[in-house]
Amino acid sequence: MSIEKRTFVCSDAANNNNKFWSYEYDTVTEMCTVKYGRVGKTCNVDDPKHMSRSELDRKIREKTAGRGKEGTASYKPPYREIAVVAEAVSAPTGPALSKEVVREAAKKQLASLNPELTKLIDRLVEANRHELVKASGGKMDIDLKTGIISTPVGVINKDTIKQARDTLDLLAPFVEKSSFDDKTFIEHLNTYLMLVPQLVGHARGWHKSWFDGHNTLTRQSTLLDQLEASADLADARMKAANDGAVAQSLSDTPNLFNAQLKVLDDKVMIAKIEKMFFDSLNSKHDSRNMKPVRFYEVTMPEAKAAFDAEIASWPATDKNVKMLWHGTRMFNVLSILKSGLFCPPKSGSFHVTGRMFGDGVYGSDQSTKALNYARGGTWDRGAIDKNCFMFLVDFAMGKEYTPKSSYESLPKKGYDSTFAKAGDSGVLNNEMIVYKNSQVNIRYLIEFEEK
């Protein structure tokens, strides 16, 4: 039996549409089952009926072409096909897959099954899952058997996620200005929701409140990170199936985390880190009442090799490596341990997390400047985490450029980095920015709690 499955989505904020239409077609018997409804709300299923290939193709053309003139009562907006991963990938069976893959992979690959570190992994996974549910309106969750995330209409692939990132970048300036009735904003929002289907409000005008300031942009960016990791798992599942290893646990296939964690027990280094934190603490920052409580050493072999190669290629006078603080929300920690710190390819939605001086990796020698990002509530308008994390990262600064303001075109040709100095560059706190992935190497992860 050969079953053809396709899913189409129609998001049209101006006309209060957020619908899906999908079918399963047996190419041998020509029996077709259709499902449809509002994304995340309803799923109606028509009884299977005979439909010739030409009849089905005509129905698809009708859905994807739309009908009538926009703005009229008879207008029917077009549907767009969403690329989803095969069901065999997203719904595996077998006792070997009964564990939560992301959690178990992290415990084995990151923590080497160390009891103290596995407790840390449990907390990071739960923070990740909680953020996923919050960002998607409660309509996405991690499959406990696979670690794979499904949208309300299926598991989307990596190409779709890339398109969604580009679209989120286009949405960002409209969200920052609250231009929710702008026709271009609505067009981009329609595109975004047809790429990453999610639950939206049912009342007309939901597009005006769906993006709740910068925090929702940040949550959507994090959601795409999670979906991309899920797509990696789905790809691995397909590869395992092709290799005849369907029942093999994905915690072994492939290595999801190219990093290792160790509990830091070097008292001299711990004292040095504590001194770095308290010596650079700003008593005016919201995070001033937090203190470091646990310390972990991070090893990322591929990132370290790239970092060392970058440094080796520079003149001896330009080495200039600084260990700096990088703050991030708790739900991002696992993603960073999986993929490392990276320079986004272009401006856009990432600006909301503090990229005033261009698209790069940001750090600071002022501890609470970075900790404000990790704690939340100061700049991202998100919930405050009384328990949060920061990374200590080696930054290969090389030849530094100090801007006079944030309005300059950066990075500057002939320089390896930007050092935005407090009082001189239009900022209140020092910010250091590098523009290549190979200029950062994560050394430590530090956990903070309120005093």
Please report, for the chain, the start and end positions of each structural domain, with discontinuous segments joined by +: 3-82, 87-256, 260-450
Average pLDDT, the chain: 82
Strand partners of residue 388: 448
pLDDT at 89: 36
Q: Identify the weakest region by mean pLDDT among 140-149, 251-260, 290-299, 425-434.
A: 140-149
Alpha-carbon Rg of the chain, whole angstroms?
A: 24
Q: Are 328 and 389 in contact, with CB atoms under 8 Å apart?
A: yes
Q: What's the token pair of residue 288?
A: 């001033």
- Residue 149 binned pLDDT confidence (cut-offs 50, 70, 90): low
| 81 Cα distance to chain centroid | 23
Q: Is the pLDDT of residue 374 over 60?
A: yes
Question: H-helix or E-strand containing 374?
Answer: helix 367-375
Q: Is the pLDDT of residue 84 over 70?
A: no
- Residue 301 binned pLDDT confidence (cut-offs 50, 70, 90): very high
Outline where 200-350 has alpha helix (H): 207-210, 213-242, 267-279, 301-312, 333-339
CATH tag for 260-450 (out of 3.90.228.10, 1.10.3720.10, 3.50.50.60, 3.90.480.20): 3.90.228.10
Q: Is the pLDDT of residue 446 over 70?
A: yes
Q: Is the pLDDT of residue 260 over 90?
A: yes
Supply the DSSP string of 102-134, one letter for each residue.
HHHHIIIIITTT-HHHHHHHHHHHHHHHHHHHH
Amino acid symbol at 368: T
Strand partners of residue 10: 19
Between residues 148 and 124, the one the model is more confident about: 124
Residue 230 sits at the vertex; the CA angle it makes with 138 and 192, to the nearest 5 degrees, is 60
Q: Identify the weakest region by mean pLDDT among 110-114, 352-356, 382-386.
A: 352-356
Residue 15 sits at the vertex; the CA angle it makes with 14 and 20, to the nearest 5 degrees, is 110
Q: Is the pLDDT of residue 62 over 60?
A: yes
Strand partners of residue 35: 22, 45
What mean pLDDT is predicted for residues 197-211? 83
Strand 80-82 and strand 290-299: the pairing is unpaired
pLDDT at 297: 97
pLDDT at 443: 98
Give 10-52 pLDDT, tens digit per residue. Answer: 988 888 888 889 999 999 999 999 999 888 777 899 999 999 9
pLDDT at 214: 53
- Residue 350 binned pLDDT confidence (cut-offs 50, 70, 90): very low
Q: Is the pLDDT of residue 230 over 70?
A: no
Residue 40 backbone dihedrals phi, psi, to 5 degrees: 80, -5
Question: Quick one: residue 155, left, alpha or beta (phi over 0 = left, psi -120 to 50 = alpha)?
Answer: beta
How many Å apart are CA 181 and CA 207, to the nearest integer? 8
Q: Is the pLDDT of residue 325 over 60?
A: yes
Q: Are 33 and 23 in contact, with CB atoms under 8 Å apart?
A: yes
Percent pLDDT > 70 in the chain is 79
pLDDT at 448: 97
Percent pLDDT > 90 in the chain is 41
Please tell me whether residue 449 adopts helix, strand or coil conformation.
Answer: strand
- Residue 264 binned pLDDT confidence (cut-offs 50, 70, 90): very high
- Which DSSP state fits 150? -
Second-level CATH architecture of 3-82: Single Sheet (2.20)
Give 392-405 pLDDT, tens digit per residue. Answer: 999 999 999 999 98
Q: What's the token pair of residue 307?
A: 């970092």
Q: Is the pLDDT of residue 106 over 90?
A: no
Between residues 80 and 74, the one the model is more confident about: 80
pLDDT at 147: 53
